[in-house]
Amino acid sequence: MAIAANVFWMLDRSAQAYGEDPAIVFGDATLSFRGLRDRAANLANGLRALGVAPGDRVAVLLSNRLEWPEAFFALAAAGAICVPVNVLLAPPEIAHVMADSGARAMIFDELGAEALAAMPDPPRLLVAVGGAQPPAGLAATSYERLFAASAPADPPAQPGAQDVFIYYYSSGTTGLPKAAMHTHDGVLWNSVAQIDDLKLDRSVTYLIAPSFSWAAGFHNLVLALLWVGGVSVIAPTGGGAGRLIDAIEAGQATHVMLVPTLIRQIAADQALLARLRATRLRWVVTGAEPVPMELVARLSAALPDCRVCQGYGLSEFPTICTVLSPDEALARNGSAGRALSHTTLAVMTDAGEIRRSGRGELLIRSPATMTGYHNAPEKTADAFIDGWLRTGDLAEVDADGYAFIVGRTKDMIISGGLNIYPKEVEDVLHALPGVVEAAVVGAPDDRFGERAVAVVVARPGAEPQVAMLETACRERLAGYKAPRDFLVRHDPLPRSPTGKVLKRELRPWVQARLASRPRP
């Protein structure tokens, strides 16, 4: 069942309901509901005039700023497909997203200009935001000139509910990043369900800490608040816990999402806790990786007027599948919570049975899930079973519907709330001289929860230098994906009879090597 025509329809409805009330705030600038709607409609017409047609993929490589939500809703109105590009990616990774998505246009700012210059085949339709300049030999249309070139009228014929609206690239363990495709209908289901489940209303002011290029950026609370007339405040891209608290104070935020890495930093600093206690903050949700109960308990005790909740979700949607409220935390220690109203949970046992409770791979059924992976029919087929989305996470779901994440079927590493997929790093290492084989595993980290550790088997007589390994990873991967430790060995990696690397046997060796190192 379709909730509404499309994502722009939702904004248009809210503009009529809430008019000049503030919708999005960034620094000293504010967009009202009507202002956001009008600028998005105007920009949609400008993009159409530039040559962007319905169904065209348009990459958006922007830091968090007001132009991002304008572009998001403009692409929805124009019937184009939005392709968010992670601002932390290295140029070769961005080039892959562009080539795989088939994006024929890009909206970029100063952060994206350098990556654009390094692309072997950049798109010809370029829109420059702010002071961004295109690479030599390429021309770009000024973002603001698109507004001047079009009338601020209703956008042209808009897409239907089942049309694809957005791609979110999510890496797998078996290859390069792949795009989860979401329809207008799925996006709206994801947002509208949060209103009642998270008790959102017009009194909420939410600080947007995640990048808009991640699924959590728009789809955790922001769109839901646009439904009900709440306010979203954009935090500046980058910075640590102190800068985030600056933004909470300045924006008078009542709600925020914090990854466990930031919670660890705040919980360990009495000065930061004191500042946070003095704010209007009354709700914190955390997730993106397993969250120790002790950490949640510490933050809850330090912020008695603030509810600290745990959540679980994924880029394939729903971005918030489950929530564990504070009053449930003690009785359900370690749980990721129960499903929101638009989601049903199940598990698939090792025998392939699908059960509503028990232990196995966590399955999700929801009208908000992706329709599949772009250009990857085999991966799409693998991602679903009998209408259930396979998460790749191992879970225990009890008789009351509480999910306990107990492991991962994939070898993904979560460091500071960001996903690191070993295969991407291993591919870089395998291409280097002196490397026979390589494996990347996660190791506990006091600051980030987990960090990537690379194990490299050296070629006899040509042992690679650690500095060379570090440099190659830093140049070819986003900074957060680069391993923090490189361990060189001469014995082959442990493998199963079928030739698969047995990382469960490799991890104890890694732990022993790290433990034997001299302390700094």
Banded pLDDT at 2 (limits 50, 70, 90): very low
**How many Cβ atoms from other residues are within 10 Å of residue 518's Cβ?**
4
Q: What pLDDT shows up at residue 172? A: 45
Q: What's the pLDDT score for residue 334? A: 74
SS3 (DSSP) at 285: strand
Secondary structure string (H, E, C) spanning 109-169: CHHHHHHHHHCCCCCCEEEECCCCCCCCCCCCEEHHHHHHCCCCCCCCCCCCCCCEEEEEE
Residue 37 · residue 73 · CB < 8 Å: yes
Cα-flanking dihedrals φ and ψ of residue 135, to 5°? Answer: -65, 160
Q: Write out pLDDT tens, residues 170-184.
A: 754 345 789 999 999
Lowest mean pLDDT among 75-84, 212-221, 235-244: 235-244
DSSP-assigned beta bridge partners for residue 314: none
Q: What is the pTM (predicted TM-score) of this model?
A: 0.84
- Minimum mean pLDDT among 31-45, 82-96, 176-190: which range? 82-96
Asked if residue 346 has pLDDT above 50, the reply is: yes
Q: CA 201 → CA 3, 206, 207, 225, distances in Å?
A: 19, 11, 15, 7
pLDDT given at position 407: 64
Q: For residue 102, what pLDDT band results from cuts at 50, 70 and 90?
A: very high
Q: Where in the chain is the domain with CATH 3.30.300.30?
A: 413-516
Strands 205-208, 164-172: pairing is unpaired
How far is residue 285 from each of residues 322, 468, 510, 511, measured CA to CA in Å? 11, 40, 33, 31
Phi (first) and psi of residue 9, to 5 degrees: -55, -40
CB of 220 closer than 8 Å to CB of 200? no
Residue 136's pLDDT is 86
In one-letter notation, the amino acid at residue 495 is R
Burial code (b: 16+ CB inside 10 Å, e: under 16) for 66-79 equals bbbbbbbbbbbbbb
Within the chain, all domains assigned CATH 3.40.50.12780 are found at 239-408
Contact between residue 161 and residue 186 where contact means Cβ atoms under 8 Å apart: no
Residue-wise pLDDT for 406-451, tens only, equals 766 667 788 988 878 787 898 899 889 999 889 999 999 988 999 9
Take residue 108 and report the two structure tokens written for it. Answer: 């970029």
Q: Which fold has domain 239-408?
A: Rossmann fold (3.40.50)
The three-class DSSP label of residue 305 is coil
* Secondary-structure percent of the chain, ordered helix, strand, coil, rounded to 5: 35, 30, 40
Whether domain 7-186 has CATH 2.30.30.100: the reply is no
pLDDT tens digits for 448-470? 999 999 999 998 888 899 999 99
CA distances from 8 to 13, 18, 353 (A): 9, 15, 41
Banded model confidence at residue 499, pLDDT cuts 50, 70, 90: low
Type of residue found at 485: D
Check whether 519 has a pLDDT greater than 70. no
Q: Which tens digits make up the pLDDT trace of 357-401?
A: 998 899 999 999 999 999 999 999 999 999 999 998 888 999 999
Beta bridge partners of 166: 82, 182
Question: For the purposes of burial, counting CB atoms within 10 Å of the CB of 497, is it exposed (0-12), middle (13-18) or buried (19 or more)?
Answer: exposed
Q: What is the total residue count of the chain?
A: 520
Alpha-helical regions (H) of 384-517 = 422-430, 466-476, 503-516
> Is the confidence at residue 148, as pLDDT, over 80?
no
pLDDT higher than threshold 50 for residue 3: no
pLDDT of residue 364: 98
pLDDT score at 405: 83
Per the DSSP assignment, residues forming a β-bridge with 309 are 285
Tell me, letter by letter, the H, E, C secondary structure of 379-418: HHHHHEECCEEEEEEEEEECCCCCEEEEEECCCCEEECCE
Cα separations (Å) of 90 from 61, 210, 228, 468? 12, 19, 37, 18
CATH 3.40.50.980 location in the chain:
7-186
Cis peptide before 290 (omega within 30 of 0): no
Longest dimension (CA), the chain: 72
Fold topology of 413-516 = GMP Synthetase; Chain A, domain 3 (3.30.300)
Over residues 288-335, the pLDDT tens digits come to: 666 666 677 788 889 999 988 888 999 999 999 999 887 786 678 778
